[in-house]
Amino acid sequence: MIITVTPNAALDKTIQVPSMQIGMRHRGAHGFVAPGGKGINVARALLLLQQPVIATGLAGGETGARIQRELDAEGILNDFVPIEGESRSSTVLIDPTSGRQTEIIENGPSVTTAELDALLDRLEYVARDASVIVLAGSLPRDVPDDWYADAIKRLRRTGAQIILDSEGEPLRHAVAAEPHLVAPNQLEAEELVGHEFSSDADLIEALDEIADMGPRNVLITNETGAHLLLRESGQERRLRVTVPRVEAISTVGAGDALLAGYLASRRRDGSPEEALRHAVACGTASTLVPGAGVFDPREVKRQVALTEFHELSLR
């Protein structure tokens, strides 16, 4: 079983607005609502990949109740801890004529220490049957930046692999807790190491910079593919997979689909090369349809054939 944890779950509304201009009146088209937050997006993609997954986290108010109802309707097993505050909503405006998208994200609810403790207690209970726990996304208001770090230390005792996908200060604190894998995108990785990447060599070096902070393995994603530092069987490998650019409809949740693709392939005993190819293909396929963590499995197969794999030299 894979468990995904979304402390700051949301109800996401996506609307297509052709030729959108700020300050003008528009009529949206093809709007839809779905549960969101990085952990939920990963769970949705894992279900598409026929992996056993439970989505958990914090949910409150009518928005939180709807998040759980919608997950039930999608067939995603879920076990959220109730909170007193109202879960957040977000809106994504996609302009299909330009390919640009605008995200309007509400702040999350305030969460009490007791509610956070209840979530950790729930995670320790369900983790007894888990091989992987994915901690993902932002933290709600008033939650300490080191909450993910504390959660990693506590959950490591379960024996599950702890995967982290966050940003900013929560990511900075959490890498020192030595998760099994961290999966920032390029902008998040640049913020973590404190400098921009002007070349592929900078990105490769950043794998080691981040690994030196604590995590065992590092996966950095960007628009053209992914770089992976993998340490297993007493060896260190640095891998890169690229794929041709596509005309994206929406990039929301592409990194979440990529992470799900990687985890699913490794669970099926795929080699690191196969897993990274599959991951990048899932992420790319997800940009070709609206919605987060969704893709056409047939398109994934097509994109896998277009990927290019490179084994990178040691630093």
pLDDT tens-digit readout, 73-110: 999 999 999 999 999 988 878 777 777 878 787 888 99
Q: What is the 3-state secondary structure (H, E, C) of the chain?
A: CEEEEECCCEEEEEEECCCCCCCCCCCCEEEEEEEECHHHHHHHHHHHCCCCEEEEEEEEHHHHHHHHHHHHHHCCEECCEEECCCCEEEEEEECCCCCCEEEEECCCCECCHHHHHHHHHHHHHHHHHCCEEEEECCCCECCCCCHHHHHHHHHHHHCCEEEEECCHHHHHHHHCCCCCEECCEHHHHHHHHCCCCCCHHHHHHHHHHHHCCCCCEEEEEECCEEEEEEEECCEEEEEEEECCCCCCCCCCCHHHHHHHHHHHHHHCCCCHHHHHHHHHHHHHHHCCCCCCCCCCHHHHHHHHHHCEEEEECCC
Domains by residue range for the chain, with CATH: 2-19+28-312 (3.40.1190.20)
pLDDT tens-digit readout, 282-311: 999 999 998 899 999 999 999 999 999 999
Q: Given a cut of 80, is residue 23 above it in pLDDT?
A: no
Predicted local distance difference test score (pLDDT) of residue 256: 97
